[in-house]
Chain A
Amino acid sequence: MNLGWKITEGLQFNLVGQNLFAGTHREFTSPTDPFTPATRIEPNIYGKFTWRF
Chain B
Amino acid sequence: MALLIRTLLAALLLLSAQAHADNTLQLAEQEIKAGLLYNFLKYTDWPGASMEKSPAMNVCILGSDPFAGYLQPMAGRTVNQRGIILRKVQNMQEMQSCHLLFINARAKDSWPQLKVALKGKAVLTVSDFDGFANSGGMIEFGRKNDHISVNLNMDAVTSGGLRVQDRLLRLVTLVHPGEP
Contacts and interface: CB of A to CB of B under 8 A. Distances in A.
B143 interface: no
Interface residues of A, number: 26
A36 B35 contact: yes
Contacts of B36: 34, 38
Per DSSP, chain A at the interface is strand
Given A2-B13, A18-B13, A27 B20 contact: yes
A35 B57 CA distance: 14
The interface residues of chain B, by DSSP majority, are classed as: helix
Contacts of B74: 35
A6 B31 CA distance: 47
Interface in B21-62: 22-23, 26-27, 31-32, 34-36, 38-39, 42
Contacts of A35: 34-35, 38, 73-74, 77
Given A26-B171, A35-B77, A4 B2 contact: yes
Contacts of A18: 13, 16
Contacts of A36: 35, 38
Interface of A: 1-2, 4, 6, 12, 14, 16, 18-19, 22, 25-28, 31-41, 50
Interface of B: 2, 6, 9-10, 13, 16-17, 19-20, 22-23, 26-27, 31-32, 34-36, 38-39, 42, 70, 73-74, 77, 147, 167, 170-171
Report, nearest first, the 9 A-B pairs whose CB atoms are least far apart.
A34-B35, A31-B22, A40-B170, A35-B38, A2-B9, A38-B39, A31-B19, A31-B23, A34-B31
